[in-house]
Structure 1
Amino acid sequence: MPVSFPDLLTLLRIVLSPLFLVMFLSADATTKQLSLVVFLIAALTDWYDGWVARRYGYFSRWGKFLDPLADKILAASALFAFVLLNLVDGWMVWVIVFRDILITALRSYAEYKGKPVITSLSAKTKTFGLYISLYYILLLHVASFVPSISARYQNEIHQLLHPQVLFGMMLVVTIATTWTGFVYLIENRKTLRELFEPRNVL
């Protein structure tokens, strides 16, 4: 079965995620700066594959499963990089990743069974807030490795990346992520019950 162009873009996003992680964790300033470019390209594939799919009608079960998974892999790669650099508390990242894996698995299984589920506005808002936080940390951290920027704005960058600032920001994201997970389960409880309740075979 041929793979559509949007699905290829989704696969590219998955491939770029570990590449970004390795580059972002590099001690080399240039490599770290290039990691931001890799992340932006990966993020753009998310927008572009969706646009192409809607524009030309390229929809598939494989794509419906793979696209949200690729998004979660990209976000998780950035979050775990932040943990390894002691920018973010690990327990917050594990809560966010666990919630996203659980909800993505349930949604994919439901769509596979032909039972579409509701994605609430609050969940979309949560995702938007998460990526704002990711870009905030990414841009400032990479900026601190650009000599022309760090020499002039070192104190400002240090204040913006202060542990208390990052803790507060990620705490809000973690709470929102947990809350929207519960909302998702409640709003789709009927569909989920139908998916997992045992059926009597006569």
Structure 2
Amino acid sequence: MAPESASTIWNVPNILTLVRIALIPVMAVLLLSPSKEAGFWAAAVFAIASVTDWLDGYLARKMEIVTVFGKFLDPIADKLMVMAALIMVLPFNRIPAWMVLVILGREIIITGLRGIASTEGIVIPASDLGKFKTIFQIVAILGILLHFDYHWFFGIDHPYLYVNMHNVGMFYLWIATIITIWSGVDYLVKFTKVIAR
């Protein structure tokens, strides 16, 4: 297979992926502070990065631009963004460390297994569980980054009009953690069956 040219690599979907990677240190610097303002802007950066994740995949399919570089970089960018957000909030005790260990451990193990499978020329299709995992992780992380109470009705100060974003984030993080374990076991079973054949 001929190597990809620079003109092939520098397409809109790949550039969006690189932008997502460039946003990671911006978010990390913001999360050095536990303040409400820093969390808000970190959540905004994470939200923009999440939109670019959807957009680069959509454009790659729409423009029929699928490159080896893009297929390699896109999942790495996703994992780095999630890992950075979860690790940076650990010092603030916003989430249990074991949840972060489970989520990151699953990503490392499955990435390694995918690498082994690809060297053997084996493609193990991703299940819908992986998509649900990503959606719940994004929503959970946004809630955890926002963390504080927010009122949502034209600034009216009433206790029933406040939402604690930390509680919202933790609710979705529990779901994301369960799906993370479920999807990891599902992939391991598929991998074992394929390798056994």
For this structure pair, what is the TM-score category when the shorter chain's length is used for normalisation?
0.7 to 0.9
Mark the CA change 1:154 to 1:94 in structure 2 (over 3 Å): closer, same or farther.
Answer: farther
Following the alignment from structure 2 to structure 1, what is the Cα–Cα distance between the partners of residues 72 and 158?
43
> Deviations along 1:68-94, whole A, 9 cap, x unmatched?
111111111221223222110111101
Q: What are the superposed Cα offsets for residues 141-162 of structure 1, whole Å, 9 maximum, x if unpaired?
A: 4859xxx96x94688445x535
Instruction: Give matches, 1:65-76, under 5 Å.
Output: 65-76=72-83
Distance 2:133 2:31 in 1: 24
Shift of 1:38: 1.6
Structure 1: give runs of 5+ residues left out of the alignment: 195-202
Residue correspondence of structure 1 range 38-49 to structure 2 within 5 A: 38-49=45-56
2:132 maps to which of 122, 125, 138: 125
Contact 1:4–1:58, Cα closer than 8 Å, also in 2: no
Which structure 2 residues correspond to residues 11-30 of structure 1 after superposition, within 5 A?
11-26=18-33, 30=37
Match of 2:70 among 63, 67, 73: 63
Instruction: Give the share of equivalent positions with the same residue, in percent.
Output: 34
Q: Counterpart amino acid of 2:30? A: M
Pick from 162, 166, 182 the counterpart of residue 161 of structure 1. 166
- Aligned pair in 2 of structure 1 residues 56, 128: CA closer, same or farther (>3 Å)? same
- Choose the corresponding residue for 2:186, options 183, 186, 189: 183
Per-residue Cα deviation, 1:19-52 (whole angstroms, up to 9, x for no partner): 1121133256544433222212211111111111
Work out whether residues 43 and 142 of structure 2, in 8 Å CA contact, stay in contact via their aligned partners in 1: no
2:44 paired residue number: 37
Taking the aligned partners of 1:166 and 1:43, their CA distance within structure 2 comes to 16
The count of aligned residue pairs is 187
The TM-score with structure 2 as length reference comes to 0.78
- Structure 2, unaligned runs of 5 or more: none
Contact 1:89 1:167 in 2 (8 A): no
RMSD: 3.0
For 1:103 and 1:143, the matched residues in 2 are separated by 37
Question: Structure 1, residues 93-123: CA drift from partner, whole Å, max 9, x if none?
Answer: 0110110122123324534654221211222
